[in-house]
Chains A and B, each alone.
Chain A
Amino acid sequence: DTGVSQNPRHKITKRGQNVTFRCDPISEHNRLYWYRQTLGQGPEFLTYFQNEAQLEKSRLLSDRFSAERPKGSFSTLEIQRTEQGDSAMYLCASSPGSKWFTEAFFGQGTRLTVV
């Protein structure tokens, strides 16, 4: 395991459909983060997990978004009833849990296009 893995890399969906993304973090990392990035912007925080517990959600995470991390391993991000404004790169990152403030390592992202 050499890094954070995200699947799929690309997803095209019709407006109104549901989509689910998967993230496999670096194996020894306790913390897992989801970010969203649109063109020309830096990543924006969505939510984060400490092991299996979801500890924080951004106000960007509307009721149509849900994230899980069963058993503290991989995580899924689901978007229900997708809208065109959901089109973005969805990034997952993980970091060691030994200190609060340490670097996070990102995956390659899932590019979502809602048509």
Chain B
Amino acid sequence: EDQVTQSPEALRLQEGESSSLNCSYTVSGLRGLFWYRQDPGKGPEFLFTLYSAGEEKEKERLKATLTKKESFLHITAPKPEDSATYLCAVQADERSQGNLIFGKGTKLSVKP
């Protein structure tokens, strides 16, 4: 069964303290891996798409990387406004018809 596991469930950082969030996946045929940010009571906001192992994407303080089994979201010198839940999702093979399989997310808190 296709599965996405995110760790840790929650992460508390001090402002400026860099860290990484992990997303491990087991799917029959990965077609794409997606990172989203979700603020409380809001819908997920798209961050990155990764398609193949070795691929990297960057946006401001965030950098996403992909291997054959997992993806990392690196946060460099975070600020309090980076506090949110970060969701990882995958699209598997053609049987999924394009829908996304999400992990439960990592809740990030950045204290000033």
In-complex Cβ contact of B44 among A40, A91, A102 (8 A): A91
Is A65 located at the chain interface by the 8 A CB criterion?
no
Q: Mark A31-68, 1 if CB is under 8 A from B, else 0.
A: 10101000011111100100000011010000000000
Task: List B contacts of A48 (CB < 8 A).
Answer: 97-99
Asked if A41 meets B42 with Cβ closer than 8 Å, knowing A55-B97, A100-B94, A100-B98, the reply is no
Task: List A contacts of B44 (CB < 8 A).
Answer: 43, 91, 106
Residue of B nearest to A111 (CB): B41
- Whether A45 lies near B94 (C-beta < 8 A) is no
CA distance A42 to B38 in the complex (A): 10
Interface size class of B (residues with CB under 8 A): 20 to 34
Shortest CB distance B12–A (Å) = 17
Asked if A41 meets B46 with Cβ closer than 8 Å, knowing A48-B98, A100-B98, A101-B31, the reply is no
- Whether B43 lies near A107 (C-beta < 8 A) is yes
Asked if A91 meets B43 with Cβ closer than 8 Å, knowing A101-B31, A101-B32, A101-B91, the reply is yes
Residue of B nearest to A97 (CB): B98
- Whether A56 lies near B97 (C-beta < 8 A) is yes
Residue of A nearest to B103 (CB): A42
In-complex Cβ contact of B100 among A4, A6, A45, A111 (8 A): A45
Task: List B contacts of A44 (CB < 8 A).
Answer: 102
Those of B17-50 within 8 Å (CB) of chain A: 31-32, 34, 36, 41-46, 49
- Whether B98 lies near A41 (C-beta < 8 A) is no
Is B84 located at the chain interface by the 8 A CB criterion?
no
A44-B102, A48-B97, A48-B99 known; 17 other A-B pairs, CB under 8 Å?
A31-B98, A33-B100, A41-B104, A42-B102, A48-B98, A56-B99, A58-B99, A93-B43, A101-B32, A101-B91, A102-B49, A103-B34, A104-B46, A106-B36, A108-B42, A109-B41, A109-B42
